[in-house]
Structure 1
Amino acid sequence: MEDVFNAREAQNYIDRINRLTPETSGKWGKMSVGQMLAHCNVTYEMVYEPQKHKAPGAIAKFILKAFVKSKVVGEKSYPKNSPTAPQFIIHDSKDFESEKNRLIGFIQKTQQLGREAFEGKESFSFRKLKAQEWNNMFAKHLNHHLEQFGV
């Protein structure tokens, strides 16, 4: 698992994103490249812009923690065409450059804040997470979708 808090490895994600073009198509799934970038941004919005999303209630948080958390923060990769939570589904078209720049900014901000800023940080859906769990969540989600689009 790559370390999103490491400058070199964070730059690797940025380099992969920069290889995408508005015409890049996915190897599987239904999203356009702009929608995929917007979809990846949702993870970071929940950290840096939580007001954009409705927080799950206590019962939903319990269910997420009990049944979903280990799949999201564990080290095992997501299979192709995995189901996603409703707030991650992007229905409308998205501006490629805008979404790309936002994602790169989020990756840079996360790396610069560093592992220490995420140790014990409350997550939107899973309560407090260890820095390694945050890393796994960010890294495997990015890897899954960048591989989906061939970069």
Structure 2
Amino acid sequence: MESLYDPKGNQNILDRIDQLNPMTLSQWGVMTVSQMMQHCQEPIKMAFGILHVKPHWKSYFFASSYRKKLNSAKLFHKDQSTIQEFIIKYEPKFDVAKDGLKALVATFAKDGHAAIKATRHPLLGEMTYAEWDILQWKHLDYHLKQFGV
């Protein structure tokens, strides 16, 4: 699996984002391409300490099993549920959503571990820098595949 901290892996994700256009259609799910790009910003903002989400009650019981799945080679599967705070109910401007996502993704390669300010994920519990990287890469990969790139 690639790493967002690695300049090459980071650029691969940025190149895939660049393939999106306002008319790109989802292969599954209900989000538009602009909603997806805005949605993908939210967990990165959380990792960077910009967005704060209260821990979910499930994290106290299932965090270690969730992290074990995260650290496996398996990628995310279709129609996974999301944290309520990450659901985008409005239609963002395409260019604003795209530029915002690209800027956040680029920060991983530019700032490395220093970009991560949060230590706790609301469902996965305490996270390492490597786990934040795995989570963000898998999440971005999942949604970019959802839109065919």
TM bucket normalised to smaller: 0.7 to 0.9
CA 1:61 to 1:120, structure 2 compared with 1: closer, same or farther past 3 Å?
A: same
Q: Distance in 2 between matches of 1:3 and 1:129?
A: 16
Counterpart among 69, 81, 99 of residue 101 in structure 1: 99
Counterpart for residue 16 of structure 2: 16
Deviating 4+ runs (over 4 angstroms):
118-121
- Greater mean deviation of Cα atoms: 119-128 or 12-21: 119-128
- Greater mean deviation of Cα atoms: 140-149 or 120-129: 120-129
What SS does the aligned partner of 1:92 have? coil
What SS does the aligned partner of 1:55 have? coil
Q: Distance in 1 between matches of 2:65 and 2:110?
A: 31
How many Å apart are 1:133 and its aligned residue? 1.1
How many Å apart are 1:94 and its aligned residue? 1.1
How many Å apart are 1:118 and its aligned residue? 6.9
Q: Distance in 2 between matches of 1:46 and 1:129?
A: 12
Q: Distance in 2 between matches of 1:70 and 1:39?
A: 24
Counterpart for residue 40 of structure 1: 40
Count, aligned residues: 148
Cα RMSD between the aligned structures? Answer: 2.3
Instruction: Name the amino acid aligned to 2:81.
Output: P
Counterpart for residue 139 of structure 2: 141
Instruction: Name the amino acid aligned to 1:31.
Output: M
TM-score for the superposition, normalised by structure 1: 0.85
Q: Distance in 1 between matches of 2:99 and 2:67?
A: 28
